[in-house]
Structure 1
């Protein structure tokens, strides 16, 4: 029978950091909502402020869903 070697106490396991997941989820939801609001406001911006974006570029960006970059 092999001898057991004692290495000391096992390191304490830390619980999974659910608070981190909650923060990431809230940050993602905030980013999506901000993007949604920006896409709603984009057609209202004057052409001289868009600096080189064509109306087609604006339409294409406004047609994207909030989770798309």
Structure 2
């Protein structure tokens, strides 16, 4: 009669999920830093890239997980 085997000790069940989780956290942190940098850009450079101060305010008001 077959018996259920115990899980292997020390084995990570979902290494891909762990990798994906780290990558998602890194993306969120990078997005946060980019928005901090964008808030520091002066009006002359904003005109060069085609953004208004209102565009910047709206983008910086988003939460880190929002694209």
TM value normalised by structure 1: 0.69
Give the distance between the partners of 1:37 and 1:43, measured in 2 at CA.
10
Gaps of 5+ in 1: 1-15
RMSD: 1.7
Matched, 1:25 2:12: no
TM value normalised by structure 2: 0.71
What are the Cα deviations for residues 34-56 of structure 1, in whole angstroms up to 9, with x where unaligned?
00111111111233433110110
Moved over 6 A (4+): none
Matched, 1:39 2:35: yes
Aligned length: 54
